[in-house]
Chains A and B, each alone.
Chain A
Amino acid sequence: MRLRYFLSETFTNLRRNLLMSIAAVSTVAISLLLLGGVQILGMVVGNMTRSWEAKVEVRVFLLNDITEGELQELETTLTNLDQVRDVQYVSKQAAFEEFKEQYADQPEFYENLPEDSLPASLDVKLTDAKHSEPVATLVNGAPGVDEAKFGGDLIRRLLKVNSLLRTITFVMSLVLMIASAALIANTIRVAIYARRDEIGIMKLVGATNWFIRVPFMMEGVFAALVGALIAGGIVLLANAVLFSRMGEALPFLASVFSFSSGEIASILLILAGVGAAVGLVGSSMALRRFLEV
């Protein structure tokens, strides 16, 4: 049975070339760990930017003499926009309450104010922070609208920083992915180079290329998967021990450092996938040179 030959060949070779196997496994583990680290960094940045951006909203201040019809129309227009997630009417009373709450420790701010001194408004929550400026521009000057406000410059800067952060983490993970692929492929090439005589003799006696290739590729995939397993284990451990502690110690960062099991699973899947793919592609590419003739 061929499968039995392939399997026994694979594991015999892994055992006989133990040092090479260890080198390959630890190379994969280390480079995938780096990759996993960047992935986590990317998630942290993502959580962070998302939590900032979730707070971005447009507040449409209404004129005191706005008619019921104008208000209805304005609310409908906003609600029907794709970029708008939610529209909330804040009455003069509610605005005053909110103001009181905000400055609860400085009662002198509101003590002498009449309760209707603050304008009513519509609070518009958006699907994405980048829509704040266009939405504000759209409703500015509509009948009954005093002024639509959004964060302005601050928002623009925040968005720029966020997109920069995202680009940086994306580029970093891309570079690391390529670097770890190259590193793993190189380790496999060294391992195969050490056994080029064996390959030469296999060719000599008429072994087909596939027959030569399969055990090497299985070794590559196996070593890469073991490496991925190690890297994944460390990521899981870090999540269980390190990040949850960080969340407890720094409550305001808790949301940033908490990952759903889906997110962790996706990291592990990426690691295993990259590992296996690199093991497969790396070993077959490294073999190609020795299989010619």
Chain B
Amino acid sequence: MIKTVDVRKEYKGGITALDGLTLDIEKGEFVFVVGPSGSGKSTFLKLLTKEEEPSGGEVYVAGKNLSSLPRWRVPYLRRNVGCVFQDFKLLPNKTVFENVAFGLEVIGRPRNVVQRQVPQILELVGLGEKLDRFPDELSGGEQQRVSIARAFVNRPLILIADEPTGNLDPATSVGIMRLLDRINRTGTTIVMATHDHAIVDSMRRRVVELEAGQVVRDQSRGIYGVGT
């Protein structure tokens, strides 16, 4: 599903974010990407949606080589890769329903599909009662559920989460992880960057540890880290 071969990424100013990253993620896997800040986690995730381009090496997503993917195809790639962020990225002037519907409307889904799928997915994330609320009327955990609903409403093959629990308290985080686990069970591949020891240790999924842009540990059913 995701494959990187000897990927390097240098930003302007000579900062090396990734230095020969080779990784293979199968369909339906749940992978934690851990490592200190600046180890290249976010850069790796950005390569998967072609938000950044590698300076060297190859990135394959859903069987496609991203470096030969023409610019105009990028939106179609992104429809297969849902994204969830630490800061939710919800639109404050749209309701919960509208925020999720927005994700479908802007890729041209017909109105009846939107009307049917949005309540379904909000039910799934446990917000079936709060369709008409605005984001600032919701708790952080609820906002993150909305953003997961938006990322997943299109049934993408892959869900990418960049520290989705970074702003949430431990109890709320557990709820979010349950939700992601449920989504994973539908066959969706999940790649999640995190700093959260407790979550990684309790979930016991594959853990990829990055350091200075390289894979230093790749462990199935792993824990956050021995030394850290």
Tier of interface size on chain A: 10 to 19
What are the residues of chain B within 8 A of A204 when measuring CB–CB? Answer: 49, 78, 83, 89
Query: Are A207 and B107 in contact, with the CB atoms below 8 A?
Result: yes
* Contacts known (A5-B105, A211-B107, A212-B106); A205 close to B78, Cβ less than 8 A: yes
Give bound CA distance, A208 to B105, whole Å: 11
Give bound CA distance, A200 to B89, whole Å: 9
- Smallest CB-CB separation from B150: which chain A residue? A205
What are the residues of chain B within 8 A of A200 when measuring CB–CB? Answer: 89
Query: Are B102 and A206 in contact, with the CB atoms below 8 A?
Result: no
Give bound CA distance, A157 to B74, whole Å: 65
Query: Are B107 and A197 in contact, with the CB atoms below 8 A?
Result: no
Query: Are B91 and A197 in contact, with the CB atoms below 8 A?
Result: yes
Q: Choose from A198, A205, A209, A293 the contact partner of B107 (Cβ within 8 Å).
A: A205
Give bound CA distance, A176 to B8, whole Å: 50
- Chain B 69-108, CB-CB to A under 8 Å as 1, else 0, gives 0001001111110110000010101000000001101111
- Smallest CB-CB separation from B93: which chain A residue? A16
Query: Are B75 and A293 in contact, with the CB atoms below 8 A?
Result: no
The yes or no answer to A201 lying at the interface (CB within 8 A) is: yes
- Chain A 194-231, CB-CB to B under 8 Å as 1, else 0, gives 00011011111111110110000000000000000000
Within 8 A of A (CB), among B38-63: 49, 51
The yes or no answer to B154 lying at the interface (CB within 8 A) is: yes
Instruction: Other than A16-B93, A203-B75, give 19 A-B pairs with Cβ distance below 8 A.
Output: A5-B105, A5-B108, A197-B89, A197-B91, A201-B91, A201-B103, A202-B106, A203-B78, A205-B82, A205-B103, A205-B106, A205-B154, A206-B76, A206-B79, A206-B107, A206-B154, A207-B107, A212-B106, A293-B51
Would you list the 4 A-B pairs with minimal beta carbon distance, nearest first? Answer: A206-B78, A207-B106, A206-B79, A205-B103
